[in-house]
Each structure stands twice: as C-alpha cells, then as structure tokens.
A and B are shown apart, each in its own frame.
Chain A
Amino acid sequence: MESEAVQFNHSVINRVTARQSARATAGAQVLNLPLADVQRGLWFVQQVAPDNAAYNLVFAALVISAIDSAAFETALQCLVDRHTALRTRFVVDDAGVPRQEVLPAVKIDSAVIAAAGWDDEKLRGRAIAETKQPFDLARAPLLRVRLFQRGPRDALLVWTAHHIAVDFWSLAVLLDEFRQLYQGRAAGRAVSLPPLASDYPVYVQRQKEMLSGLAGSRLWDYWRESLSGDLPVLNLASDYPRPPVQTYRGASLGFRLDANLTTALHGLARAEGVTLYVLLLAAYYALLHRYTGQDDILVGSPVAGRLHKDFRRTVGHFVNTIVLRGAVGGDTAFRELVRLTRDKVADALRHQEYPFASLVEKRVPERDLSRPPLFQAAFSWERLPQFQELASFFSLSDQVAEAVEFGGLTLLPFPLPQQEGQVDLALEMGGECGGELFGVWKYDSALFAAETIAALAGQFAELLKGVVADPAQAVARLPLLSGAERQRVLVEWNRSEQPLPAARTVHELVEEQVARSPDKTAVISSEQTFSYRVLNQRANQLAHYLIESGVTAGQHIGICSARSADMLVAMLAVLKTGATYVPLDPAFPRERLSMMIEDAAIALVLTHETVWEDVALPVARALRLDRDWPEIATFAAHNPRRVVAPRSPAYVIYTSGSTGKPKGVAVPHGAVVNFLASMAREPGMGAEDVMLAVTTLSFDIAVLELLLPLTVGAMTVIASREVGSDAQRLEELMESSGATLMQATPATWRMLLSNGWRGCARLTALCGGEALSRQLADALLPRVTALWNMYGPTETTVWSTLTRVEPGTEAIAIGRPIANTQVYIVDESMQPVPPGVPGELCIGGAGVALGYLNRPELTAEKFIADPYADGAARLYKTGDLARWRRDGTLECLGRLDHQVKLRGFRIELGEIETQLCRHPSVRQAVVMVREDRPGDQRLAAYVVGMNEDISVAALKAHLAETLPGYMLPSHIIVLTEFPLTPNGKVNRRALPAPADGIHTALSEFVAPRDRDEIQLATMWEQLLGVHPVGVNQNFFDLGGHSLLAVRLVAGIRQRFGVELPVSVLFQHNTVEALARLLREHSGEAAAVTPLVPLRGSGDLPPFFFMHPIGGTVFCYLALTRHLDTRRPVFALQSPGLEDASLAEVSVPDLARRYLEIIRAQQPQGPYHVGGWCFGGLIAFEAARQLTAAGEEVAELVMFDTRAPIAENAPADADDATLLSWFARDLAVPYGKTLAIAPEELRAVDGAGMFDYVLQRAREIEVLPHDADTARLYRYFEVYLANGIALQTYESGDYAGPMTLLRAADETVDYGPLLGWDKVVSRRFTLVAVPGDHNSMMYEPHVQALAQHINETGLAMQPRQALAS
C-alpha cells in the first residue's frame, strides 16, 4: 500500500464509523455498513438488470505523449488505496438486505490493450464496447482503467466506473489526484495529497442519522406535499412499442446551440433573473408539454449532494436526484413558466437531501418495470469547475479538438457516449465552448429512433429561438416545427388537389353516365334488374311524382325500403327533387327510427308495402314503391329540371352520439360528388366492375356501394339483408354475381373468414368503419386481388383517407387524404404536432359536411374554421387520435375518448387490443374501462376466439410478455361473438359486465392451496405484516416495494433454492403467479420435502402439525399467525402432492415417514405435535411411535379428530365418498360451497367422475378454466390414499399427554369425546372450542385454538434453557 496516498485526519473523524473506516483503510478489517440511501436505487437497478451499463461513468482521452507505465499503474493504485469507495463492494446479507463492504485492500483493475493499426472508428467501437461492460457490484473495485495502445505516443485512455461508487464530481477528484500522483511518480518523487477531511462511510452514517431525525421528516413532508395526488407518467409517443421491462439501452445525440442563440439565452436569463439552468429547464418543460399534451410533468434532475465541505474531496456516490414537478399549461406565458420553474427549483434544492430511492419506495411502491420510476424525463446541468479544462472531453458534438497538458500527459478529447438508457429522454447541458452551449440528448433506444430524437433536438432549438424572440408568448404558441417541417405536415402531405367533375350534383353525375351507357345493366337485386335507362326513368317518374306532390328542395324524405333496386330509385328521385333523403333502416329499433323522423321532421317516407306493414312509423304519409307504382309510373320519365345547388344537402345520416341520442349529419351534394370522383380514381372503379353492395343504407359507406358504380358505368348487385348477414349465402352471391368489388366492415370480413371463405381472385376488398387489424389484413390479403383500408367519419363524407394494404408487420395505416382533402394532426391548441406525435385528427376540404341537424352548438364545436386555409373553409375535429408517420402516411390510434388514464398511466386501449389479437387463439378483441362499482375503474378485455379452445390464462401470460403491468386487464371475458350495432360495428355499450361472462375475477380472496403457495404467502405475511394474504393479491398493493421485493427474492432463494431476478416479481406479483413460476423453475420432479416451515425460527420448541386428509397444510396458516411468535411452526405436507408414487396408504407409515423428517429438524424430544382432523390421527400415531421409542412427547393436540373406531367410519367410504369430500374441500379456500353427494357421483360413469367434479368446480369458479388437471388428479390421489389410511388404521393405546380440542358447534355427533375414550385408556384433556369442524381452523375461531396452545406453551422455556 502506498502510504503517501493514505493520510487520515483523525481529529475530524470522531465517530465509530470513521474509526472503522480508518481501520478498513489501514488493513485491519472489512467494514460492513448499510447502503447510503442515495445508493439504494442504483443497487436495485443493477439487481433488476444486471447486464445494464446505464450507470457506467466514462472518461476517455487520447494520450498523444509517452506514458510512464509504472507511474501510471502506481498512481491508479494510490487512488484505490486512498478512497474507500474504490475498495467497496456490494453484497446481500442472509435477510436479503444489501450491504456495502469496504475491503482493506483492493488491486486496481487496469489493463493495456494492444491496438496497433486500429483506426479511430475501430478504436471508438472497441472503447464503447469496453465502457458498456456491466459491473458486478459484488466485486471491487468498481473502477476499471483501460489503455488502448496504438503506438508509443498514441493511446486511448478509458476510465469506466460504476455510479454507485463514483459520481461525476468524484470523477473530477480522481482525475485531479491522478494527475498529481502520476506527475510525481513519473518524476520520481513522492506526492503528498492533502488528507481527506472525511470519508464515505461517515457520509452514510450522517445521512442515516439526519434522515431518521426531525430534519428527515421535514424533508419528507416537503416531498410528500410536492408529489401528492396521482403522479403523472410521461407519455412521449414512441417509435417502437415499449418493452415490458426497461432495457436500459440508450443512445446519445450531441448538439450545440449557435453563438447567437447562446448569447440570447444568457441575456434572457439575466433579464428574468434566473440561471441558465432554470431557463432551459422551463424550455424543456414546454417541449415536453407540447409533445405530450400533459400539464403535469415530472422531470428528474441530479444534484451534486456535496453540501458539507468535509466531503468535497471524498470519492463516492453523493449525487441525489430531485424530482421537479412542473405545472405547464398551454396558456401559460413562457415568462410565467420560467418564474414557476425558478420557485420550484429553489424549493426542491432546499430539500435536496431527501434520497430519491426513498421517494420511490414511498410514492411508487409498485414499480412498473417498463419505465423508470417517478420521472421518465431528466434534465441535468453539469458544470463542474474542476472540469473546466476537460469540458470538451465530455462533449459529443463536433468541435475542434484542442490538446490539454495533464500531469505530464498530453490529452486530446475522445468523447464517448455514456450513462445511456437511464430514462426515456434526458437532456444534459451545462457545457459551453467557444461561446456555444452544447449538450447531449440521451434517449432510450428501445423506444425512439435516432431520426425522431434528431427532429426533437431541432424542435427544441426552434422553441428556444421562439423563447428568446418573445418570452411572453404562451407555451402553446411557441414555435416547435421548423419552417420546413411545418410546410411538410401542413402542405406537402396534404397535396390532394384534383379537378372536380363538371356535374355539380350527385344525380347529375349519374345522369351523365346514363347518357353514356343507357342500356347497360345498372343494378340488380333479388327481384329487380334495371338498366341505366330504366333506373333513371323510374327515378325521374318518382321525382316528378314527388314534385307534383309538393316536395320541395331541402325537405327531408325518409327511405325505409327493402334492399332492392327500388331503394336506388328512391335515392335518386329524392336527389333529383332537391330534397334530402334520410335512410330509415327497417331493421333499426322503432324507437330510434321514430326519433329520426321527429328530429328530421320527416312527413313523407318512401317504402314498400311489406316493409311498412312491419314498421308503421309515425309519419304523415308513406308512399309504397310497390303498391303505388302504377300511379307513379304515369308521371314523366325525363330528368326533372329542378336546379339543385352543390351546397344543398343530399342526405342526412344519423350516427351514434356520445349521449346515446343519434345525431343527423347533413352532407351536401358537392361533398358527395368530390368523394365519388375521388373513389373512381382510387381505389378505382370502371365500367367493367361489379360492386356487391352489402351495407345498410343507414351507414353512409353505402353511398360508395350504391352510387359510385352509377357514375362510372359499373353494375351494382344489391345483397339482401339476409344474404349480407349469412356468410355462406354471401359467399355464393360473391361468386354468382361476378363481383369485382366489395366493401364491408371488419366484422363482415371476419364473418366470411370464419366460414372458411377461400377468397376471390378477382375481388378488390374495401375495409372500413372500424380499425383493420394486421391480423385480419394478413388473412384477407392472400384471398383478394387488392385490399384497401378506408378511413373517414360520416361528417367528412364517407371516406377521407385511404391506403392500399400491403403485406408486412407494422400496424395498418389509414393512408393519405383523398382528393381535395386536408388532414391535420393537432394538439389541444390546434397547433400541428411533429410527425410521430399523436394528436387529434382534423379533416378539411371538399368533404366536410354541413353540420349536425338541429344541433348548432355541437356543429360549432366540431366543425371549426380551418386555421390553415383561407376564406370560409372549415375543419371537422374527428375526435380520433392519429399521428403522421415519417413517410407522410397517417396512423390512426383510436378514439381520443378511448385513451384512458388509470392510476396516472395513459393507456391506449387499442394497444392492448392489438396485443390480444396477436395471440393465435384470438379472432377479435375489445378492451374498455369499466366502472361497475363507483370509483373502481378496471380494464376489461373482451375476446372472441378462433374456436372454443381459448385459455384466459394463456392470454394473460401472452399480454404479460409484451405489456407493462398497468396495461394488463383485470378481467378477460371470452364471448362467442360481439354484440354489433346495426352498422356492423362492435356495440361496446352492450358488452356484458365481467360477472356476466366467463372471466377471471382477480379480486376475490383465495387462500393458498398448496405447499408453494403456503410458503410464499407466509413469507409475504412476514415481510409485509399483512394477514392473511390471498393468492391473487398483488405484492405491491399490499405495501411491498422494490427493496422488499429484493428481500423476498432472497427469501425465495433460501427457501426454494431458486434464483429469480427481482424483475420477475413485477410481472408475477401474486402468490399464485409466483408459485407457478417457481414450479416451472424447479420442475415438477424436483426433490420434494414435506416439511413446510410456517414460521422457521424462534426460541421456543417447535410445533409440528400434520396435514389433514387433503395432504396440504394451508389450514394451519391462520393458526400460525396467532401462535406465540417465539414458537417455530412446521407443517408436514403429503409428498404425494408433488409425486403420486410417494403417497402412503397407512397411518403408521405416514407417521413413520414424518417422524424421520421431524427428527432431522429436532433430533430429540420433548416433541410437540398435533393436527386437524385426519392430521390429528397422524399426530396421534406419531406420538405413539415416539413414546414407544422412548422419546418424550410434551404435547399432542388434536383438533376435532375423530377416533379411529368403526362407529366413526362412514357407512360407505368408497371412491365416490372420498371424491365428494375432495370436491367440498376444493371450494373451501374460495369461501364457497361445493356439495356433491356420493350418490350423484356414483351415477356418473366411473372414469368421468373426476371430470364431473372439476366441471362443477369450474361452474362456481373455484377452478380456473385452464387448471392443471394432472396436478389436481394427483391431489385427489393423495386424498384417496389418506382416505384409505384412515379407513384401515387400527390404533393401539397411547399413554402420553393428549389434548382434544373439540369443535363445539359441529352438528354431526360423534359423541362428547369423539370416541377417544374407546381408544386410549389414560385420561386426556378435552377442550371445547368455538366453531364447527371446518370453521374452527379459520378466523375468528382459530384464535381460541391458538390461545389454548399459547397458554399451554407459557410453561415452556426457550430451547437454550431446555438444552442446558
């Protein structure tokens, strides 16, 4: 050890810790101490992701001078000898608690790597790989130094240290001392560094004292208040789906702000009286607000933590992170945001000593491992005076490299990226060089593409320019997009101009086609076929009739007809009169139709006799197109000469309203003409095409099916409602009609596929009305010639965007705008959002409807002035969430109101649906938030399977693989089909509450059911102090937090011998899930020990409980809780539960086997044994065998155990009887009753009996649908074996102490002594306890049992005393 580097000022260190620290330094001993609170979080991250390098600190420099390797090595070793932090390792004690050990001596980890001939690129790659090597925290030192030697005067020096031992400040200290030590050694002289005022262990001690005192509680008071309420989760839209567990992989992007902007920012900071840190943090808040739309944003910011001068030269992890909660309203002036930020920062800095790890434990006990806790965005400002001359060595932005003389070495910057992937997004600034601020954006590369961050960096600079230009500007109005970006999203991606047809109205468009192809077949329905000429003539005759009857322009005419060619006649006729048609689908509920008639003031309905007989709506007049046709046919057949303006409404179509009341959308002729012309071009339709129309007229997409063919000379085949809803008949019609085009909702396409439709090679499929999943698209693509995804609300005329779907893996886009249509993605302030960022989709252009009928306020709200167009153009706000992809196509992300927020997490329900649909057994999925009980919001997933073989557990597991915990539905309900609206969309309102379907109810309390669950539940109870723990309860809901999770994992390692990463606990956070995982880890064939430690330690002699007939021992959990805590409690579980071949069939054998185990645990008496029911019998036999062997039995306690005498045996204890008992016991942990009489079972075929019981158990939901049947059968075999043992047991006398606790409330009478007076000759103790045979073992009665045992135990002495 180099004594020159080790000099302690003992006058300053006057605490025990300091003395220990000194002894450790002097080589006397290993110093073991707890982690500093600021270290805990880092330690935890390393447990969760041991391979991560996110917390590796790096310093790199090219050395272009000769290196004295001996001096180099010695200087480094001196650093290790001098600083305890460099000799510290991190271990876990037996209780799972992390500790740090300062070792007396540790050798520096340094190496020289031959790198001759490497160019800079290779050198950089190798160096980065070296810095990304993870540290094993259990091995000191947590600093390694590498020298990549390219030549005698050309080497890359790389220091890598783990943040838990070395912070940025420490790095500066170490480099400074290295410089002195190296220079001295190279010159052959000893260097005397100033003594350290204090060392890290002292800091640990001081911090703990401070936190446990008044100061600590005041700090917590501040943070509790500051971080009260629901904590927001930053919802930055990512390029890639968020992995379920944070990968800690990241990337960096260096940047510089030009000198002008830097100067302006300095000026603004001065003018506002704030530091640059505050100013830039405020701008960062503004950026995040604009990207997420969130008003409440948490940003983490590191603070050096060197508040005491004693520690200014101490190496260690002092850095703490403060969480700065910004309230960022779009309306807030930026200047005001700066002021708020300044105040927030000042307050937080005053309370900076409260450890971040403690904040996490208290505020987010249930870690969502997919994200960093508390904050997902960070902002750091590193400007250490020690690093002034080396500042450029940390800048990733391009700059001119200047050599620095450093302790006799000449260094050139060779900055390497470091500490990447800690959070979603981090902005690090503080460096300034050449009058330019520089910094680095660090981002989670599992979430973001480099291009996205590059764009974001540019937008931040744009925003800063806006800030300095006008700091009074509202945050929402600050510029974000560069001019080029703005041009792209507003103009270039909306270039959809196309000439409009000469015809200005819909019927003119059709009339033009009639003139072109009068004799071509226009329309076919089941009973009618019309040529273009006939169709038009009939429409004209009807139009003339209507005009003659007084129908005026603008009047609303209902069409309530059969799906026939007449329906088309009616539509055209109304349009020709200048009136507006209103579809009234006779299949709709009468109430809904009546409401439409009233709302649209419909006085005349065009119908058919057969239809009208059924609906008979309240209108003044119904014109029957069949019955009244002879009269209509007397009218003129030429086109009416009524002039109709393009702005006249062509139709009013009712759509669902959010209040449940439909609203009528009035669509003008001009919009329809533009739409039809656009559709004729793309997807395209020609005279040779045959369109199969299947959609109800009441759904506006029928406009395409019925009218588009008439504008291009194609033929329309109208399918009846019955055919349209029958997959087989529809398929036949597709074939027989020669259809080349069909448009349908996903539901209809799925219906066809479910029926085994093989496809139609000539067919172009249009899909719209609901989101087209990739799964459905992949199924359709090989079956059709082309597939188009169509998107658009009724309010902008049928479809507004479209795309031809290609095979692939990414989500289906909605494409680009149709002709003369503009699409904008905007934030709440109607500012265009950057590509990739979700916003509300707004549609402008020729398709915008007139508005809602009789709903001026709603019209004004949804149809707004187009801020990006001149004149009177309007936009429709769709309420859909969408984003631009980088290629200028649109992606729809669902409804804005489907974006929900649960426990602070913003959740896209569509994302969960997509994941469900990726499971091969799922055909369709819908996820929604239900609030069936006020205040209890839960995610419910509804799925329709490919077939009946669908496993809820498998779906849950599938989701858990890809989605973070907060996105996992509480319920998964399997339905045979979804309820649909008349338009063929899923009727979300009609989805059943979870209780109505097959579901997994996770909220019910379920007691542990097997050995593993019992052990885990017991561990949870001890760790969490919660009793009882049900197998479905969430560890974190019960108060668990990350460090308790670590302790639990340590306990599992000890108890089960299975090494689990901590991270699994976040996804397997129930006893049930964890037990299942443990079984998978250990394998079913693993060695089985029947001994279950319910309380593994204590001073008093242990109690051994024998299992009852079922073989499990969960019945002793409640009892154990109430037994004296000094008393160890063990239970013996049947080994047959794990391995059927181990099941014993005789009580003496059972007792003999268990005694071997008991003796291994407690080699000699006195013994305390007992058991409930059959377990009492085993205990009795065990006591007999013990006394026969000369051992002392201090206590034999039997809980309502009936004596093994013939009178107590059931009349017929056959397999059916035992199975009926087994069934009864299956339901007990669920608090339910499953009574199946043996007679009922005997009536079932022998082999089917067991399945019958399982079926009954499933029906009352005491068995999941995918229960492990083999395991259950094994449990039953144990039941049978024990039942046989019970029946065949012939007991002898027993002369030891014996207590019988008889259930006082048991109704079945086995005599006051349960027959024991006929077995044992000696007197025994009888105690009546409350409860019946079963309830005596559970709360509250079990307390009386425990009380009895505890009172008996009062006389007992601790084991040490006994042993002596």
Chain B
Amino acid sequence: MIKVEYSYLVNSPVEFVFAYIGNPINDQYWQESCHGVELDEPGEAVGEGTRYHIQFQFLGRAMPFTAAVTEYEPFQAYAYETLSGPMQYKGTYRFTRIGNSTQIDWTFAAEPGGFFGIIPRTLLKKVLAKQVEGDIGRLMQILGARRAVSNG
C-alpha cells in the first residue's frame, strides 16, 4: 500500500475550493495524469454514491477506473474510492476554512499490486509525490483563475 498525505493552504474560500475539488469531472483539468472523466449519469449532482469512470496515464501505462464518491460533506469532506480498475485506491479531502483561505488535508492510499511491474514502490511513491506537488500548483492556479472570473 502506498500512502501519501498532503496539507496545503489555498488562497480561496472553502466554498470555491470544495465546489471545484468535490467534482470528479474537474480532475482531468488539474491532475496531470488524469486524461478524462465521465460521470455514470452525466449531469447529475455529485453526492455520496456518485459513480464515475476516470482515465489515468501514469508511467507509460493507461489506467481506466470506475470509482465512486464515498463521502460528500459540503465544505468539509469529500472522499472517493475505486470500484474497479487495474488497482485499488481511495482518497479523502478534509477542508478547513481559515479566513478567506482553505486548508486542505488530503490522504491518498493505493495498492498497485503488480501493475507497475518491477518499478519499486519507493520510486512510485516518489513519482506520485512529485506529481501531486505539480497538481497542487496547478490547482492553485486554476482556483485563483476561477475566483477571479467569479469575482468578475
């Protein structure tokens, strides 16, 4: 099992942040390895039990998953878990309002099994961490941009 935990502060109000992160459709925009997301029932409001299909491309391998939202507490928590796919993973976001900013605590755990062949887990974790760092930067950029648009 590979586990990562990240805590970071986003300079946006929790409503914005939750609305964006709490929608799996947006994963494809801010997560570099995500190459596409489709909700099982397009157009439905995301909530606990929402199922979606998500495509990742990681270390030269395509990874199609079916996942579900397992926790949905507006402005507080959002969690997801795979239902099927080449491996299992699950993640949880906790949101904390800090003035006009939002503290995000993200935990993620994946069991790659033998999917990545002989790539050692230490390396996988390192790559994952590197990717997450990039994604967070991208997320902040996007949230900043969206907020600007919204304000406008």
Contact flag A1246-B118 (CB < 8 Å), given A1145-B130, A1280-B123 = yes
Q: Which residues of A contact B130 (CB under 8 A)?
A: 1145-1146, 1149, 1288
A305–B117 alpha-carbon span in the complex (Å): 74
Establish whether residues B117 and A1277, one from each chain, have CB atoms under 8 Å apart when the complex forms. Answer: no
* CB pair B126 A1215 closer than 8 Å: no
Q: Complex Cα distance A1227/B102, Å?
A: 54
Q: Say yes or no: is A1281 at the interface (Cβ < 8 Å to chain B).
A: yes
Given A1146-B130, A1214-B59, 5 extra CB contacts under 8 A: A1214-B117, A1246-B118, A1249-B117, A1284-B127, A1288-B127
Q: 6 interchain pairs (CB within 8 A)?
A: A1145-B130, A1146-B130, A1247-B114, A1280-B123, A1288-B130, A1288-B131
Contact status of A1219 and B118, CB under 8 A, knowing A1146-B130, A1280-B123: yes
- B130: shortest Cβ distance to chain A, in Å? 5
Interchain CB contact (< 8 A) of B117 among A1143, A1216, A1284: A1216
User: Using Cβ atoms and an 8 Å threshold, which residues of chain A touch B126?
Assistant: 1143, 1145, 1281
Interchain nearest-CB distance for B2 vs A (Å)? 14
- CB-CB < 8 A to B123: which residues of A? 1143, 1145, 1277, 1280-1281, 1284
Query: Please, which residue of chain B has its CB at the minimum distance from the CB of A1149?
Result: B130
Q: Residues of B contacting A1214 with CB < 8 Å?
A: 59-61, 117
The listed residue (A1145, A1146, A1247, A1287) touching B60 by CB distance below 8 A is: A1287
Interface residues of A in 1190-1246 (CB under 8 A from B): 1210, 1212-1217, 1219, 1246
Tell me whether B60 and A1277 are in contact (CB under 8 A).
no
- Is A1141 on the interface with B (CB-CB < 8 A)? yes
Q: Is A168 an interface residue, CB under 8 A from the partner?
A: no
Q: How far is the CB of A1243 from chain B (nearest CB, A)?
A: 12
User: Is the CB–CB distance between A1145 and B117 below 8 Å?
Assistant: no
Q: List, in ascending order, chain A residues with CB within 8 A of B6's CB.
A: none
B109 CB → nearest A CB, Å: 20
Q: B127–A1145 contact, CB under 8 A?
A: yes
Q: Name A1246's closest neighbour in chain B (CB-CB).
A: B117
B59 touches A1246 (CB 8 A): no
Chain B residues, Cβ within 8 Å of A1219: 118
Taken residue by residue from 55 to 88, chain B's Cβ proximity to chain A (1 for < 8 Å, 0 otherwise) reads as 0000111000000000000000000000000000
> A805 CA to B58 CA in the complex, in Å?
71
Known: A1146-B130, A1287-B59. A1215 touches B117 (CB 8 A): yes
Chain B residues near A (Cβ < 8 Å): 59-61, 114, 116-120, 122-123, 126-127, 130-131
Q: Does A1250 contact B (CB under 8 A)?
A: yes
Chain A residues near B114 (CB-CB < 8 A): 1246-1247
A1140 an interface residue at 8 Å Cβ cutoff? yes
A1281 to B60, CA, bound (A): 13
Task: Report the minimal beta-carbon distance from A1102 to chain B, rounded to whole angstroms.
Answer: 30
Cα distance A741–B63 in the bound complex, in angstroms: 75
Bound-state CA distance A164–B38 (Å) is: 88
Inter-chain CA distance A1281–B122, complex, in Å, is 10
Within the complex, the shortest CB–CB distance from A628 to chain B, in Å, comes to 74
Bound state CA distance, A1287 and B131, in angstroms?
Answer: 12
In the assembled complex, the Cα of A1276 lies from the Cα of B117 at a distance in Å of 13
Main secondary structure of the interface of A (DSSP, over half): helix
| Residues of chain B lying within 8 A (CB to CB) of residue A1287 | 59-60
In the complex, the answer to whether A1280 meets B119 with C-beta atoms within 8 Å is yes
Which partner residue on chain A sits nearest B129 by CB separation? Answer: A1145
User: Given A1143-B123, A1284-B123, do A1213 and B60 touch, yes or no (CB 8 Å)?
Assistant: yes
Contact with B along A1249-1278 (1 / 0, CB 8 A): 110000000000000000000000000110
Q: Report how far A1246 CA is from B112 CA in the complex, Å.
A: 13
Please tell me if the beta carbons of A1217 and B60 are within 8 angstroms of each other in the complex: yes
Cβ contacts under 8 Å, B119 to chain A = 1215, 1280
Neighbouring B residues of A1212 by C-beta, 8 Å? 60
In the complex, residue of chain A having the shortest beta-carbon distance to the beta carbon of B120:
A1277
Complex Cα distance, B126 from A1281, in Å, reads: 9
Q: Which of A1145, A1213, A1247 contacts B118 (CB 8 A)?
A: A1247
Expressed in whole angstroms, the Cα–Cα distance for A1217 and B131 within the complex equals 21
* Chain A nearest Cβ from B37, distance in angstroms: 21
Closest to B113 in A: A1246
Q: Please give the distance in Å from B59's CB to the nearest CB on chain A.
A: 6
A1214 to B63, CA, bound (A): 13
A353 to chain B, nearest CB (A): 67
Q: Taking A1215-B117, A1246-B114, A1246-B117 as contacts, is the C-beta distance between A1284 and B59 under 8 angstroms?
A: yes
List the B residue with the shortest CB-CB distance to A1217. B60
Interchain CA distance A1213-B117 in the complex, whole Å:
12
Considering only CB atoms, which chain B residue lies closest to A1211 in the complex? Answer: B60
Q: Are A1249 and B118 in contact (CB under 8 A)?
A: yes
| A1214 to chain B: closest residue by CB | B60
- Provide the residues of chain B in CB contact with A1280, threshold 8 Å: 119-120, 123
In the complex formed, the residue of B with least CB distance to A1253 is B118
Contacts of B117 in A (CB 8 A): 1214-1216, 1246, 1249
Residues 313-338 (chain A) with a chain B CB within 8 angstroms: none
Looking at the assembled complex, report how far the CB atom of A1104 sits from the nearest CB atom of chain B, in whole angstroms: 24
Interface centre among B60, B61, B127 (most CB of A within 10 A): B60
Alpha-carbon distance A1149/B127, docked complex (angstroms): 12
Complex Cα distance, B118 from A1277, in Å, reads 9
Complex CA gap A17/B117 in Å reads: 72
Interface residues of A in 1031-1090 (CB under 8 A from B): none
A1216 / chain B contacts, CB cutoff of 8 Å: 117
Give the distance to chain A from B78, nearest Cβ to Cβ, in Å. 27
A1145–B129 alpha-carbon span in the complex (Å): 10
- Distance A290 CA – B117 CA, assembled complex (angstroms): 71
Bound complex: CA of A16 vs CA of B31, how far in Å? 78
CA distance A1284 to B131 in the complex (A): 11
> 3 closest pairs, A vs B, by CB?
A1215-B117, A1213-B60, A1214-B60
| A1249→B126 CA distance, assembly (Å) | 22
Q: Which residue of A lies closest to B32 (CB)?
A: A1288
Residue of A nearest to B115 (CB): A1246
Expressed in whole angstroms, the minimum distance between the Cβ of A79 and any Cβ of chain B is 69
Chain B residues with Cβ below 8 Å from A1249 are 117-118
Bound-state CA distance A1288–B132 (Å) is 13
| Interface set, chain A 1132-1185, CB cutoff 8 A to B | 1140-1141, 1143, 1145-1146, 1149
Once the chains bind, are B118 and A1215 in contact (CB under 8 Å)?
yes
Query: Residue on B with the closest CB to A1241?
Result: B117
Contacts of A1213 in B (CB 8 A): 59-60
Which chain A residues numbered 1285 to 1311 have a C-beta less than 8 Å away from chain B? 1287-1288
Q: How far is the CA of A634 from the CA of B117 in the complex (A)?
A: 85
- A1280-B123, A1288-B130 are contacts. A1250–B118 as well, Cβ < 8 Å? yes
Chain B: which residue is nearest A1281 at the CB level?
B123
In the complex, which residue of chain A has the Cβ closest to the Cβ of B131?
A1288
Q: How far is the CA of A1069 from the CA of B116 in the complex (A)?
A: 43
Nearest Cβ in chain A — how far from B30, in angstroms? 15
Kindly state the separation between the CA atoms of A1216 and B120 in the bound complex, as whole angstroms.
13
Measured CB to CB, the closest approach of chain A to B133, in angstroms, equals 9
| In the bound complex, CA of A1288 to CA of B128 (Å) | 11
- B116: chain A residues at CB < 8 Å are 1215
- The residues of A that contact B60 with a CB separation of less than 8 Å are 1210, 1212-1214, 1217, 1287
Q: How far apart are the CA atoms of A1276 and B119 in the complex, in Å? A: 9
How would residues 701 to 734 of chain A score, 1 for a CB under 8 Å from any chain B CB and 0 otherwise? 0000000000000000000000000000000000
A1212 to B61, CA, bound (A): 7
> Whole-angstrom distance from the CB of A1207 to the nearest CB of chain B?
16
Question: Could you say which residues of chain B place their CB within 8 Å of the CB of A1288?
Answer: 127, 130-131
CB distance from B86 to the nearest CB of A (A): 13
Bound-state Cα–Cα, A520 to B118, Å = 75
Residues from chain B with Cβ under 8 Å of A1145 in the complex: 123, 126-127, 130
User: Nearest chain-B residue to A1242 (Cβ)?
Assistant: B117
The residues of B that contact A1277 with a CB separation of less than 8 Å are 120, 123
Whether A1141 and B118, one on each chain, are in contact in the complex, defined by CB atoms closer than 8 angstroms, is: no
A1140 CB contacts on chain B under 8 angstroms? 120, 122
Residue of chain B at shortest CB distance from A1249: B118
Distance (whole angstroms) from the CB of A1258 to the closest CB of chain B: 18
